[in-house]
Structure 1
Amino acid sequence: MRVLDRRAVRSLLVPDELVEAVGHAMADLSEGRASLPPRIAARVPGAGLLATMPAYSPTLGVLAAKLLTVYLDNDVAGLPVHQATIAVFDPLTGRILALVDGDHLTAARTAACSALSIRHLARRDSRVLAVLGTGPQAREHARYACLVHPFAEVCVGGRDPVKAERLAADLAREGLQVRSTTIVEAVEEADVVCAATSTVEPILRRGDVRPGTHIASVGYIAHGREVDAALLREALVVVEHRDTSLQPFPIGSNDLAELGSAGELDPERVVEIGELVAGRRAGRDGPEQVTVFKSVGVAVQDAAAASVVLAAAERDGVGTEVTL
């Protein structure tokens, strides 16, 4: 079994390859080829949860399972809120092949799928990207969004101005045209919004979003919502997997589940990102339409990310071989 730590994962991951692999995995899911059982979670009252996420993608030839913990109070102690490990298995024999650090891969694969949504749903004349949040997901979303679209400017909006300025400075050193601002100002100026926050109350409201905006919302906590109901009722809503996304947390999205239970969101009008990748469904129907990609994260994305890193590790001889 090959063990790949965080440093190895960062050195091996090629963003372009990850976007393409995630695209194949999402098409597998929408075409009914992938195996994706529901996510389950063991809860620790007053502390956090441990979720298990197995998946198989035949196009990529990868079988994997992620173990993910979510502990919101870790942020106060300076510890990661999300921590993950991905196990990769031989789909023909079931033999374990690798154990891969999943923290960076989780942020990267989520951003890669949001980048796919930008590729298929954002207006081609989009100039300003707003990134809401200041954590690892926000950082990767700025990188991957700019990988698939030539934004003229990136606005980083955060509740903590110091963290927003720090992230903006880091991204500027990577060559992006970026500045920090408030969340409200970032949304008002944006053509594309990537929201990666832990907000409880919606920060994306219909009255604040410009016509034609594309939103990728990945905020995902037990009692939180990033997008208000009025915006979701009017927008073209895109998800990773209808059966998953329309369920309550921890399987699906609170944003969508509450609308669905109230009869205000027709599942038939919800589009899967894999349907866009495969060309089975159309994207936006005009320059004024608001589009929302609401992500909850699905295990085929983790499997895709792990397959990209493991292939590079085997090619380059990177990692530690361990016998259990």
Structure 2
Amino acid sequence: MTSAQSIIRSAQAKGDAPVLILNEAEVKTCIDPRQLLEALAGGFKALSGGKVVSPARPQLDIPQSGYSLAMPAWMAGMHLTVKIVNVFEGNIAKGIPSHLATIHLFDPRSGMPVCIMDGTYVTAVRTSGSAVLSVRELARRDAKVATVVGAGVQAGQHLNLLPLVRDFAEIRVVSKVFADAQALATQHPGVVAVADIEAAVRSSDVVCLATHSYAPVISADWVRPGSHVSSVGVAPPGGELPVELIGRASLFVETREAFAPTPVGSCELAGLDPQTGTELGEMLLGLQPGRVSADQVTVYKAMGVAMEDMVAADLAYREAIRRGMGRVVEL
């Protein structure tokens, strides 16, 4: 074998690469919720500042079953991050989450794999994290009553995070099935399950929508002046957020891709001028105003962006390394 042939062959052989594997429980342990909120705030600033590379996510449809999305993102100081998320609504009847995901981290200098972690918890906590970050930044400072609409995974994560951003006197949870709201409330000390959604919304300073509803779950006229409303539910072609509310509120989004057709954009924002929305990062950077009056109604509509997965996965990976958690396999 010539020296040239030897060089070519060695260049083609990757060799074993040590890759850290983190399961769902380990990822959950390694993400501190307060650190996550700060990481998301920094990520939104970077996103609006043009520092995040995040190409369009391709979608693979499986007829009558679900779809799969690849969500890549990268910025300086982070690993190349790709989340594969599979959305299968029929899973709920099987007792497993409708959103299942894995997250893959790669060395940005070589492209070599570094880590594979469960992404199901990351998807849940970063989505609720962005909504609760919007509460922190846009709700009135004297907000005392919050209502979470929904009783699924997202609602539970909202209930975990809301006490971190305001000293609420009361946090409520409401669902179309009252027993579901009661069951969720028992898992969160101090949270109250309520049956009358209209009365709850009318007397709330913060309303967090976290459902899988194909139609609005509240009426715009229930929302009193000065309230902040967040929405993370995605259920095209309808959606949980009343369009009428958007028309009389200040609208905030992750990026203006929220106005694109689904699945990238929000069905509730279809047909609206993208300039009617302010990116959360623009507000955090001081480029656009946030709340400017006590009577202003603010609305945050989230669709989930790969930047959120990237910063959450980075937290989990760094903490796992610090603690020596996970298992290393050779790929």
Classify the TM-score, shorter chain. over 0.9
1:20 matches 2:32: no
Residue segments in structure 2 that go unaligned for 5+ positions in a row? 1-18
CA contact (8 A) 1:313 1:319 kept: yes
Q: Kindly provide the amino acid, as one letter, of the partner of residue 297 in structure 1.
A: G
Q: 2 CA distance for matches of 1:91 and 1:144?
A: 32
Q: Give the alignment's TM-score, normalised by structure 1.
A: 0.93
The reply on whether 1:131 has 2:148 as its aligned counterpart is yes
Instruction: Report if aligned partners of 1:155, 1:181 keep a CA contact under 8 Å in 2.
Output: no
Across the aligned residues of Structure 1 and Structure 2, the Cα RMSD in angstroms comes to 1.3
- Alignment match, 1:143: 160
- Is the counterpart of residue 223 in structure 1 residue 237 in structure 2? yes
In structure 2, how many angstroms separate the alpha carbons of the residues matched to 1:213 and 1:105?
Answer: 28
Which shifted more, 186-195 or 27-36?
A: 186-195
**Cα offsets for 1:122-149 (capped at 9, x unmatched):** 0011111111111111111111121111
Q: Matched residue of 1:154: which SS? A: strand
Measured in 2, the distance between the counterparts of 1:39 and 1:163 equals: 34
Residue from 307, 315, 323 that aligns with 2:322: 315
Stretches (4+) displaced over 4 A: none
More deviation in 30-39 or 203-212?
203-212
Higher-Rg structure is 2
Aligned to 1:91: 108
SS of the residue 2:94 aligns to: coil
SS of 1:69 mapped into structure 2: strand
Q: 1:192 aligns with which of 201, 206, 225?
A: 206
Task: Structure 1: give runs of 5+ residues left out of the alignment.
Answer: none
Tell me if structure 2 keeps the 8 A contact 1:194–1:217: yes
Q: CA deviation at 1:101?
A: 0.6
Establish whether residue 49 from structure 1 lines up as the match of residue 63 from structure 2.
no
Q: C-alpha displacement at 1:182, in angstroms? A: 3.6
Instruction: Measure the CA separation in 1 of the matches of 2:137 and 2:276.
Output: 17
**Percentage of matched positions with identical amino acids:** 38
TM-score (norm 2): 0.91
Counting only pairs closer than 5 Å after superposition, residues 235-246 of structure 1 correspond to structure 2 as 235-242=249-256, 244-246=257-259
Could you say what secondary structure the match of 1:171 adopts?
coil
> How many residues end up aligned between the 2 structures?
313
Contact 1:68/1:84 (CA < 8 Å) preserved in 2?
A: yes
Which residue of structure 2 aligns with residue 79 of structure 1?
Answer: 96
| Aligned counterparts of 1:318 and 1:204: Cα–Cα separation in 2 | 43
Q: How is 1:111-130 mapped onto 2 (pairs within 5 angstroms)?
A: 111-130=128-147
How far residue 189 of structure 1 moved from its aligned partner, in angstroms, is: 2.1
Q: Which residue identity is paired with 1:76?
A: A
